[in-house]
Amino acid sequence: MNILFLTHSFNSLAQRLFIELTRCGHDISIEFDISDAVTEQAVELYRPDLVIAPFLKRAIPETVWRSKPCFVVHPGIVGDRGPAALDWAIMHEHRTWGVTVLQANGEMDAGDIWASATFPMRFASKSSLYRHEMTEAAVKAVLAAVARFTSGSYQPMPLDYTRQEVVGRLHAPMRQLDRAIDWQRDDTHAVLKKIYAADGFPGVLDMLYGSLYYLFDACAETELRGNPGTVIARRNDAICRATVDGAVWIGHLKRKSDTEPTLKLPATVVLQEQLADVPEMPPESLPTRCHDGHTTYRDIWFEQKNQVGYLHFSFYNGAMSSTQCERLRAAYLTASQSDVRVIVLMGGADFWSNGIHLNSIEQAASPADESWHNINAMNDLAQAIITNCRQLTLAALQGNAGAGGVFLSLAADRIYARKSVILNPHYKSMGNLYGSEYWTYLLPKRVGEKKARELTHNRLPIDALEAQQIGLIDDCFELNHADFRKQIEQMVEQLAASPDYVRLLAGKCERRARDEQTKPLAHYRAEELRQMQLNFYGFDPSYHVARYHFVYKIPHAWTPLYLARHRRILKTRSK
């Protein structure tokens, strides 16, 4: 079928559905939801059999849903209606939640139901649930709905609240009042729940040092205590605030302003001198547990098990600032001086890496200088990994990776991913950014020149399975996070203990030496950076404009042609 995606943006869910439906043999074209007239034109041009809305913020125009079947992916259980569905599910601590595919009609979320799927809830941020459980359920439900539609005989279920299976309800939008934290009453669990339900958007509005900020990126702290609501410690990017029964770390803040746009930034960067009297609490000063359900906050940590070292870097949204790259490089170099035989680059549970930190760059006094600093810090990190001749390095992609983050993973000797991971191995959609991280050396080596050109020019996402088929990564496993980590551990333990280990390491070092003779790494870097210098400092401001639009989330004014295939057809016709 010809399927038109009508979507607010090409977000991770839309990307995943694009890949899955394409694999089923359907032709997908994408139009951003810009205006009713643009949507009508897209339908006119593409003449789709079906319209799917994976991520919409407005109603579909009547002219469109009356002329074409339109499937809306609603992030709620059957019968749930209204905005902030997942936010309410977290706030109400539902044990299971779901996704419903319904056909658009005149009433919001009230159309006939084509399919649904449920999932167990996890105590985690909204964006994490959305990227994992919600996305898996949405893929199941959309594939079922499309198969039913194709069969031609399936009768969708009308929304009828007297039916047993219709368990959801219409709910109101969630206001900041509903999200507000009462620091004198709310315990750590309640504070975390409120911040989780609002993360990544809109955040919980709260007062700090007499000003209003939106809070994001929270995790529990069980060792520290203080007056509820006060900032009692800082560590790297995060601040620690006491609660009535413990404390929470808050990694990111966005200043509220009614007059100018503001950015989500590391909490210590936003508060700066206000934190002068707040003690820095290095991670070593507390028991070594953290993040992902543990008890304190760290963004980089190293675990050694037998002959293997696991280097975790759980950066919010996968964005890596200059200092984070420098700290990660230092941690990698320290690990490489230890007696481990294999280092595994674990990234974080939600993202492996999304490359340089565009928000930090945007707020720097000179975004061009900070871009330059950040990309050089990324390159230094990539270089340390590529040139390590003491150990084998593996990249274990538990979460998605984009742009420079994908190419950083290629610096490792072997790359493994969870099967549902999405990769965006290209830079161009960020204002024609050329990219660095030694991608001109690493990418063709893995996939060949032709495929490398295709990947970087097409600007499309691929999943782990396709990445494995084209040789970009070595393997992928269809497993949840815990099973993926277990399988990685088993493989790596075997590799480290293998009689082949010495030969493999020697082979890698010989290849590196040969490659260096053919063309030194420094030459690749210099060539890439020459192009990046033009991106950062040249006459064409495309990268700065694209970055500004990206970090301030400026609504799209058009759909790029690499997504809107129907507009490419039009362009070809008019030639």
Where do contacts with ligand COA occur on this chain (CB under 6 A)?
11-12, 200-201, 264, 317-319, 354-359, 400, 402-404, 424, 427, 430, 433
* Single-letter code of the amino acid located at 337: Q
Least distance to ligand COA, CB of residue 257, Å: 16
Least distance to ligand COA, CB of residue 175, Å: 20
HEC profile for 45-89? HHCCCEEEECCCCCCCCHHHHHHCCEEEEECCCCCCECCCHHHHH
Closer residue to ligand COA, CB minimum distance, 340 or 422: 422
State both tokens at 446: 């893995």
- What whole-number distance in Å separates Cα of residue 514 and Cα of residue 508? 10
Least distance to ligand COA, CB of residue 55, Å: 9
Least distance to ligand COA, CB of residue 197, Å: 14
Closer residue to ligand COA, CB minimum distance, 21 or 392: 21
Those residues whose C-beta lies under 8 Å from the C-beta of residue 497, and which sit 6 or more positions away, are 307
- What whole-number distance in Å separates Cα of residue 401 and Cα of residue 472? 13
Q: Looking at the DSSP assignment, which residues form a beta bridge with residue 344?
A: 310, 394
Least distance to ligand COA, CB of residue 289, Å: 25
Least distance to ligand COA, CB of residue 472, Å: 16
501 three-class SS: helix
Closer residue to ligand COA, CB minimum distance, 29 or 324: 324
* 58 phi/psi in degrees, rounded to 5: -130, 170
- What whole-number distance in Å separates Cα of residue 257 and Cα of residue 254? 9
Least distance to ligand COA, CB of residue 351, Å: 8
Q: 382 with 405: CB under 8 angstroms?
A: no
Closer residue to ligand COA, CB minimum distance, 128 or 388: 128
Q: For residue 292, give the DSSP letter.
A: T
In terms of DSSP bridges, do strands 247-255 and 351-353 run parallel, antiparallel, or are they unpaired? unpaired
* Single-letter code of the amino acid located at 466: E
Closer residue to ligand COA, CB minimum distance, 103 or 127: 127
State both tokens at 315: 């950066």
* Single-letter code of the amino acid located at 90: I
Closer residue to ligand COA, CB minimum distance, 75 or 229: 75
Closer residue to ligand COA, CB minimum distance, 295 or 432: 432
